[in-house]
A and B are shown apart, each in its own frame.
Chain A
Amino acid sequence: MVPAVILLTILFPWTGALLVSITGDSRPRLQHFLAVLFSAVSGAFAIVLLLNTLPVWEGIVPAWVATDPYFSIPLGGAFGNVSFMADGLGVYLAAIAAVIGSLAILFSVDYMRGEKQLGRYYAYILLFIGAMTGLVLTTNMLFLFFFWEITALCSYVLISFNNDDPKAVAGGIKALIVTQLGGVGLLLGALLAYTVLGTYEIGVFIEKAPLAIPAFGLSIAAFGFLVAAAAKSAQFPFQTWLPDAMEAPTPVSALIHAATMVNAGVYLLARFFPAFEGVPGWKEAVIAVGVITALLAAFMALVATDLKRVLAYSTVSQLGYMVYGIGAGGIFASQVHLLSHSVFKALLFLGAGAVIHSIATRDMREMGGLGKKMPFTQIAFIIGALALAGIPPLNGFWSKELVLESGLVDGPRTAYYLMLFGAGLTAVYTFRMVAMVFFGKPRSEQHGHDAGLAMKISLGLLALGACATWLFTGRFGALLAGTLPLHSIHFLGVKELALELFTAKATYLALAVVALGLLIGWQRERLTGLVSLLRIPAGWARDSFGFEWINRRISAAVRGSAGGLSHTQTGQLNWNIAGILLGLVILLILMALGS
């Protein structure tokens, strides 16, 4: 049964994508219906898979259900087998992708009503959901790479969805190029593993790599994977693509650029952690990437004025927390934070989508006082914001404390204090965002209206999730520990978790920092002296600390060298033939020297 459910979870959205495309844009109602239906069914399958995985591993299910959680379809070629496995990491991320995917599609029914080319929109979202579930469930490194690139392609197409807007097109291309660069690292690692071990199986790699692969080769793979993960999860120094990806329609930002695809990098690091743990300098590098990203992005969120960009910087910053957690060895903590973040950030993005849909601007300076016009959206958004700031009892509090605690126990002290500071910054920018959007006096003429029914359903379900997902922490930990023997996972049930957190001094320290952050956010108008003191660093943050400049220089250099090299292309057939011949001669000489 498990193989069938895995295949259905992946193939159902893909079938939906095909059907939505075939339906054609002249029947938008049918397209809305098909997209919601197929994504919801896929979400249901993902939940069935999630619920059945632990019993299957423990062998306590009826005989007709009990099968091996692993299965493979032989291809008989150099690609290895198409193999899938249902284990804790995989099924749980697949469930996030499929469930939040279906909620984002449901939200789109209101958000995208009346838009043209819905076929393209829904087809790529469904293709993305299938690829994301495939990415986390496959155990073949080469297919992991294929799924990885399919998600990058979908992200590119959906960012550039409004393809008559040059900013959208540029943002899409930037995202594509940066994530492709990272993909090279992943491919390099996979090929290296194949040359040494003769298989693409992830399980074999994790088990044998630390001993079988020479130290130099293993560190190439380890840092290659770190580059891949950093590019995909918008970590330092690749963080610049995510804010530009905000040109996408808001449900796409919620699904791909907050809840799922950007988690793929964190997933990759968590999945391969046991293999690379022993590589000298790797864990320190992961911690450094996480800390730098979390702080830089938090500063940039503090000064941004575009609502979606604030959320994007905050996503980058929270992903930094997850990466930091993994570097400190807290796989469990980072995965719990991943779940919390997916839920509350999807909620925040969809809430922002409702606001943007209602008043047709993304600039927070033109908002204000929207709470009276859209009370439902306001409540949902504030729940998400409190979870982001880490206020108990919402899920963000539990998971952030878990991450900080694992950092305190196993990571360097400096990194811990920096991350604590980051938690305070999170509270400040969250408060600023909520205050600018929903409170105060309206700063421009707006005719806001509250969210539609489909929007309300998705927002309501996600708000419920933000209040409740921490209750499943214990069961999720048991699932991880039961299915990932090599990751040495220490997990806590809800009761022990509560007991431990509320008796630890560190928790109160973190809460005090968060409270201080909220206080600063609240009183920011009175702190004008401090603000003017910080004007220069704020300017740096607005210029994204020079990373945009570096990006522009790199792309200008590439263009320049391409222009220079184009002179070698004469377009004359005879010269081309001469070039081929020369290459052949060089190859023959090399072969003769080699033998």
Chain B
Amino acid sequence: MILDPLILVTAGVCLLAGVGLYGLLASRNLIKLIVAMQILTKAAVLALVAAGAASGRINLSQSLAITVIVVDTVVAAVGLALGVQVRKRFGSLDAANLASLRR
């Protein structure tokens, strides 16, 4: 049986997105949340490249993918910096502490 590469890539996107979403839903540790978000973003990058390959506009999709990677790195950096602050102020990395920001 020969698998269509597009189907393979789509399966990969779904797998990565599933792992990322599960991590975001189930975890309360800030570091784990950032890792899960990274995985979710990688699913998006993969989907962008696959979409470009499928539609024949690979230039556009590659430049978008690069943009997403750059933005994603910045998000991760800021998220980790916030994590450091949370650890300093609350003494733990539990995201549930942040509920006190509500008020």
Contact = CB atoms under 8 A, between A and B. Distances in A.
Q: Do A and B bind each other?
A: yes
Interface of A: 569-574, 577-578, 581
- The majority secondary structure among interface residues of chain A is helix
Nearest to A581: B21
Please indicate which of the listed interface residues A569, A570, A572 has the most CB atoms of chain B within 10 Å of its own CB: A572
Given A571-B100, A574-B28, 4 more contacts: A571-B102, A573-B24, A573-B98, A574-B26
A581 B98 CA distance: 21
B2 interface: no
B26 A571 contact: no
Contacts of B24: 573-574, 577
Contact of B96 (A572, A577, A581): A572
A577 B25 contact: yes
B54 interface: no
B1 interface: no
Please indicate which of the listed interface residues B24, B27, B98, B100 has the most CB atoms of chain A within 10 Å of its own CB: B24
B7 interface: no
B101 interface: yes
B99 A572 contact: yes
A573 to B, nearest CB: 5
B95 interface: yes
B99 A571 contact: yes
Interface string B4-37: 0000000000000000010011111000010000
A472 B61 CA distance: 63
Given A571-B101, A571-B102, A573-B33, A578 B96 contact: no
Nearest to B103: A571
B99 A570 contact: yes
B98 A571 contact: yes
Interface in B49-103: 95-96, 98-102
Contacts of B101: 571
14 contacts: A570-B99, A570-B102, A571-B99, A571-B100, A571-B101, A571-B102, A572-B95, A572-B96, A573-B95, A573-B98, A574-B24, A574-B26, A574-B95, A581-B25
Contacts of B28: 573-574
Contacts of B99: 570-572
Interface residues of B, number: 14
Contacts of B102: 569-571
A582 to B, nearest CB: 11
Contacts of B95: 572-574
A164 to B, nearest CB: 26
A577 B100 contact: no
B98 A578 contact: no
Nearest to A578: B25
Contacts of A573: 24, 28, 33, 95, 98
B93 to A, nearest CB: 12
Nearest to A573: B95
Nearest to B26: A574
B99 to A, nearest CB: 3
Contacts of B100: 571
A578 B99 CA distance: 16
A574 B25 contact: yes
Contacts of B33: 573
Contacts of A574: 24-28, 95
A577 B98 contact: no
A572 B96 CA distance: 6
Kindly list the 8 A-B residue pairs having the minimum CB-CB distance in the complex, ordered from nearest: A571-B99, A571-B102, A577-B24, A573-B95, A577-B25, A572-B99, A574-B25, A569-B102
Contacts of A570: 99, 102
Contacts of B25: 574, 577-578, 581
A571 B28 CA distance: 13
Contacts of A578: 25
Contacts of B98: 571, 573
Contacts of A572: 95-96, 99
A416 B26 CA distance: 71
A569 B99 CA distance: 9
Nearest to B99: A571
Nearest to B97: A571
A570 to B, nearest CB: 7
B18 to A, nearest CB: 11
Contacts of A581: 21, 25
A573 B96 CA distance: 7
A581 B100 CA distance: 23
Nearest to A570: B99
A577 B100 CA distance: 18
Nearest to A569: B102
Contacts of B21: 577, 581
A571 B25 CA distance: 14
B79 to A, nearest CB: 12
A154 B81 CA distance: 38
Nearest to B36: A577
B24 to A, nearest CB: 5
Contacts of A571: 98-102
Nearest to A576: B24
Contacts of A577: 21, 24-25
Contacts of B26: 574
